[in-house]
Structure 1
Amino acid sequence: MTVSPRACARLSLLALALLAAGCTTTPRGPVTLNLVAINDFHGNLEPSKYTYTSAATGKSETLRAGGIEALSGALAAWRKEDKDLLFIGAGDLIGASPALSSMWADEPSIEAMNLLGLRLSSVGNHEFDQGRKELLRQQAGGCDSPRPGKACRLSPDYRGARFTYLAANVLDSATGKPFMPAYRVESVKGVKVGVAGAVLQGTASVAVASAIAGLDFIDEAEAINKTLPQMRADGAKVFIALIHEGGRTDESPDQPGCKGLTGGVVDIVKKLDPAIRLVITGHSHQGYLCTVDGRIVTQADAAGHLLSRIALKVDAASGAIADIDVKNVVMDPAKFPADPQVAAYLAGVKERSRAALARPLGKLGTATVARKANEAGEAPLGNLIADAVLAATRAQGAQIGFMNNGGIRKDLETSDAALTTNFGHAQAVLPFGNTLVVLDLTGAQLRRLLEQQWQRPSASGATILQVSQGLTYTWDEQRPVGQRVVPGSLKFNGAPVDDAKTYRVVANNFLAEGGDNFPEFAKGTNRVDTQIVDLDALSDYIAKNPGAGGAQAGLAPAARIGKVSASK
């Protein structure tokens, strides 16, 4: 058979097309991979106050930053520069959230991240706030939730996260395997990027024990290092770690190459496989762009105040990283106009939430009841909450109330010139929905409990419990750890606490289970979970006590906790 030249040409073109269809081309030479990272968003759909010191000017700046509208505007602008931009997270996207998100089981925040195009995130400790089952529901969707009064109330067909949570170091106790994916490989501009995620190994100390039952938290670096052979087998050439553990530095959040990072993440980074050159962190709620052991270690503050913008210059063939350029960019709503779709979504959530959030509770004694503690560790808002949980459980015999600082997420603010506060403000203070547990401790146990305020993991400082009116003591930082409560100073209603006597105390279920490194609570006897929610206790107390939070309520500095100054 004779084939014409024109037919031959057509066959040749067809063969080339078929060959091309069966092949994927890998770019040669250097290529720039653009990443954007977020951490500790905590459901902050709207902007909030942010204060930082600029590296460029050396001046302190304060503004309202973050919120999904500003985030959407920044991401849209940067995607115009690079459509292949990869948006990733380092945990605590949800949990400890303002009412606008938490009243709907944080589904609005998951959907916001979907709209923003998030691809991956490590889990954070707050992803476990409502337990393993709820975390898996938030990932996969559906309405089978331990919070039936909140889940699927905003939308009846909640479909879950379109991004993937990663948890390399969280193992199912029964199988010994990660209960969520350990890593994921993304193809960016023809380069396969392996991303592994982990949460702090000490999650058990900052989570409700019942919420993480059946899970083991292993060494972060060890777990991430184990994923590298698997990621390489999947074709990855560039490797990134997302770790929900952080550190602290005095350097500015936009200062590149900082050298002064301290804290739990530093030792983790030093143990990571040398192939991991970029580590994106969270948990400590601080912005930094640091170098540790030759690696870039970043964090973008919290609440969406910053986004970390990262450019990796990579040899496409080998995966060798020639350069990593990092910037922390302040999410100023004035500079990043909202994407219309995201703005419309936020407006819809706010309209659905408006009536519930605006419900008035009562009149405060001051425009803002602050959570910031004095030198002794006592805070006006901490006192108010401790008094409120005690008042709510006196019928169950409670005599002393306790509150942990970490559970107080915002100052308590007023809604108007009349000093009225509303449900939205109160819920922002206590967003976890913890219940109040009443239990017995002896006087000796009370002393041990208070000493545990300074018996902390090496990476953290003292945590001073907030106490209800009637319990007083003085501590001395010059005394040895374990003996810092000044002898004779611990009193209840003016009388010395008797080591042999039993006292009925109340705390939220997180503390009552020994959370926040207070194991003495877990040893309490005659335990009763009252099922009273801490937020309800606070709301009821405000309603019944006009002027709550003011000096007239007994909240003068050092009224309950005293500290011996170092000069004495």
Structure 2
Amino acid sequence: MPANSTSSQPRRQRLRRRSLRVLAASAGLATAGALAAAMPADAHDNKPGHGHGHSQQSRYQDVQLLSFNDLHGNLEPPSGSSGRVSELQADGTTKTVDAGGVEYLATHLRQARKGNAYSITAAGGDMVGASPLISGLFHDEPTIEALNKLDLDVTSVGNHEFDEGAAELGRLQNGGCHPTAGCYTDKKFKGADFPYLAANVLKEKTGKPVLAPYWVWKKKDVKIGFIGVTLENTPGVVSAEGVKGLTFKDEVETINKYAKVLQKQGVKSIVALIHEGGLPASGNYNYDCDATGAGSGISGPIVDIAKNVSPSVDALVTGHTHNAYVCTVPDPAGKPRMVTSAASFGRLYTDTTLTYDRRTGDIARTSVKSANHVVTRTVPKAADMTSLIGKWNTLAAPIGNRAVGYISADVPNTGTESPMGDLIADAQLAYGKKLDPATSVALMNPGGVRAGLTYAASGAEGDGVVTYAEGFTVQPFANTVNLQSLTGAQLIQVLKEQVSGSNASAPKILQPSSGLTYTLDLTKSGADRVVTASIKLNGAAVDPAATYRVATNSFLAGGGDGFTTLGQGTSPLVGDDDLAALTDYLTANSSAAAPLAPPTTNRITIVQ
């Protein structure tokens, strides 16, 4: 499979990579592109990472790698805690900084590139999916347009790139009007200027990658290969329809496979873009991961991946966990290797210096430097991004500004049992009863609740007013509300699956509708943490032999998030959109004179 390369034309002269065909990425795939730098190459002496401005070409060349991950269509500055980062101060205290918004991200990236003749911008997946209304309403075309303007060069896919299936991902790459919604403007959507990489996502029928597995950046005699993978467990966190016809392979095996392919092609400098991440020891974006003692280090899936990926890979750009870290993790040869993540929602970007050795064609890893930087909102807004946001907001306003309900206070999405999660479950129970009066319980997955509702006005609608746009931010996945019949024994098993099986180490506590109560004993382990004798529905013990009609979203109904028993129900019935269930519930149960109070989180009793 030939490597794809770029020319050294200036960024403003970049040619669109229209030759990419996402769903035909196989042998012979070639990606045309253009990456640029208008300035002459910096000259360096023969010490890695040092430059002295000599006119002759030297052995070492610093290459700037700018990266970010998990943007999730957040074009406008994220609100609340989603739009802040925690910064460690020199005196040991912490400071909260407002961050994010593509108008500011564009300015920061453009400023960072100045003076760097060799600069690449890469991303670690989840650029789209679970997006706010300004992007999600238009199937994330606005985000792709923004990424083009950001001069993104390459990204891996993340699990959310498959929310609407491989065919829709192909449209985002190659362009064209949406198959059902059509074109949103008088101009045909052109698609992404950058390649999406998915080396470990194969088409079941052919066994070949659904997307390009790798891409090579080249400027003059410097070339760096990029391999992109998403987490192997993508089918466990995406609806069954979204990954239909696809197989997801092991991240390490896949990266190592394509590292050998690149090496055979003479590409010895390699970066892996991995949509899987870690858990930092500190919540401060600038903590010293490589220090010793409390508040340092990293854990989670990315550590094992980093320890086993081939030493021929020089750096790992990661994501998925929405955390911030810049760490060195030893490769299989025991050599330190940089592993980075820039939190989420465009709040941070990572600036890594890779020192390229022209003599060996490899990265001199002893000189690799990296740091996360805040996308502060104190810099000037990028005018082209302001214009883009304005265009799409104008199209979204008639829908987004519509009032759908009223609340008397904030409905936060916090805690093991959250008020927002309970409200959604209540809405799905009410909707389920309309479809089938026998419906008695609803369960909502916590990962499907993307935000809470804020009492204070975010625009001109007034305090306590809930708009469609705000509801969309809470539930952007376009799942349906599905009904199925479960025995009492199966319902009990579902609740135990919250804290056992694949959820044993990282519990996923379902948000219950009103009437379902039970005790969660955190002093115990495994499935025993759910106290069977405490499980009651409307005050009566759940009867293992009885049949219960259960409402969930389509993701859970397909056994998502490790709830395999929810994929085994009988008499299934597919309903309408889950956001419609929420907005209908708010409209029916609230008014300006009688706003809805946040649910009291007393359905799960926690013992710890």
Using structure 2 for the length normalisation, give the TM-score: 0.84
Local SS of the residue matching 2:211? coil
Looking at structure 2, the residues matched to 358 and 101 of structure 1 have their Cα atoms a distance apart, in angstroms, of 15
* Cα pair distance change 1:514/1:81, threshold 3 Å: same
Equivalent residue number for residue 292 of structure 1: 329
SS at match of 1:516: helix
SS at match of 2:183: coil
Structure 1 residues 342, 190: CA separation in 2 closer, same or farther (over 3 Å shift)? farther
Contact 1:378 1:464 in 2 (8 A): yes
Indicate which of 234, 244, 250 corresponds to 2:275: 244
Aligned position for 1:23: none
The question of whether the paired residues in 1 share the 8 Å contact of 2:423 and 2:598 is answered with no
1:267 to 278, 287, 304: 304
Residue identity in the other structure for 1:501: A
Worse-matched range after superposition: 39-48 or 181-190: 181-190
SS across alignment from 2:255: helix
* 1:283 aligned onto 2:320: yes
* Cα shift at 1:27: 4.6
Instruction: Give the SS at the match of 1:540.
Output: helix
- Count of equivalent residues: 529
1:179-218 to structure 2, matched below 5 A, reads: 179-188=210-219, 190-218=221-249
Tell me if 1:59 matches 2:93.
yes
* Of 334, 339, 343, the match for 2:382: 339
Shift of 1:417: 4.8
1:545 aligns with 2:589: yes
2:432 is the counterpart of 1:402: no
The answer as to 2:76 corresponding to 1:37 is no
| Gapped regions of structure 2 (runs ≥ 5) | 1-55, 291-295, 331-335
CA contact (8 A) 2:200 2:249 kept: yes
> Which one-letter code corresponds to 2:343 in the other structure?
D
Counterpart for residue 21 of structure 1:
none
1:36: how far off? 0.4
Relative to structure 1, the CA distance from residue 45 to residue 160 in structure 2 (aligned partners, 3 Å threshold; closer, same or farther) is same
What does residue 227 of structure 1 align with? 258
Q: Which of 328, 341, 344 matches 2:372?
A: 328
Instruction: Provide the rounded CA distance (Å) in 1 between the counterparts of 2:462 and 2:98.
Output: 21
Task: Please say if residues 483 and 552 of structure 2, whose CA atoms lie closer than 8 Å, have aligned partners that are also in contact.
Answer: yes
Contact kept, 8 Å, 1:76 with 1:339, in 2: the verdict is no
**CA apart distance, 1:265:** 1.1
> Which residue, 331, 348, 361 being the options, matches 2:404?
361
**The 10-residue stretch of structure 1 (124-133 or 456-465) with the greater mean CA deviation from structure 2:** 456-465
Counterpart-to-counterpart distance in 2, 1:197 and 1:313:
21
Give 2:67's aligned amino acid.
Answer: A
Cα distance, 1:371–1:456 mapped onto 2, change above 3 Å: farther
User: Tell me, what secondary structure is at the counterpart of 1:209?
Assistant: coil
Q: 1:381 aligns with which of 400, 407, 420?
A: 420
Whether the 8 Å CA contact 1:445–1:499 is kept in 2: the answer is: yes
Contact 1:453/1:463 (8 A) holds in 2:
yes
- Equivalence for 2:479: 434
Q: Of 299, 303, 308, which residue of structure 1 is paired with 2:345? A: 303
The amino acid across from 1:193 in the alignment is I
Which structure would you say has the larger Rg?
A: 1
C-alpha displacement at 1:324, in angstroms? 1.0
Q: Which amino acid aligns with 1:339?
A: A
Helix, strand or coil: the match of 1:53? Answer: strand
Residue type at the aligned position of 2:571: N
Distance in 1 between residues matched to 2:89 and 2:299, nearest whole Å:
19
- SS of 2:98's partner is strand
* Kept in 2: contact 1:65–1:331 (CA 8 A): yes
Alpha-carbon distance change, 418 to 31 in structure 1, aligned in 2, over 3 angstroms: closer
Shift of residue 552, structure 1, vs aligned partner: 7.3
The reply on whether 1:116 has 2:150 as its aligned counterpart is: yes
Match of 1:348 in 2: 391
**For each residue in 1:330-352, what CA deviation from the matched residue of structure 2 results, as whole angstroms up to 9, or x when unmatched?**
001213x2232222222222222
- 1:523 aligned residue: 568
**Are the aligned partners of 1:28 and 1:315 in contact in 2 as well (CA < 8 Å)?**
no
Residues 85, 285 of structure 2: 8 Å contact kept: no
Any conservation in 1 of the 2:268–2:312 contact (CA below 8 Å)?
Answer: no
How far the C-alpha of 1:538 sits from its partner, in A, is 0.6
Cα gap change, 1:399/1:27 in structure 2, threshold over 3 Å: closer, same or farther? farther
Return the letter of the residue paired with 2:298. L
Deviation of the 1:447 alpha carbon = 0.7
Which region of structure 1 is more displaced relative to structure 2, 442-451 or 355-364?
Answer: 355-364
Partner Cα distance (2:67, 2:503) in 1: 28
Q: How has the CA–CA distance of structure 1 residues 50 and 480 changed in structure 2, closer, same or farther, with 3 Å as cutoff? A: same
- Deviation at 1:314? 2.1
1:106-140 CA-partner distances (Å, limit 9, x unpaired): 00001100000001000000000001110111111
Identity of matched residues, %: 38
For residues 520 and 56 of structure 1, the distance between their equivalents in structure 2, rounded to whole angstroms, comes to: 51
Indicate the RMSD between aligned Cα atoms, in angstroms. 2.0
The alignment partner of 2:534 has SS state of coil
Separation in 2 of the partners of 1:103 and 1:27?
Answer: 50
**Alpha-carbon offset, residue 154 of structure 1:** 4.2
Taking the aligned partners of 1:434 and 1:112, their CA distance within structure 2 comes to 26
Correspondence 1:419 to 2:464: yes
SS at match of 1:303: coil
**What does residue 13 of structure 1 align with?**
none
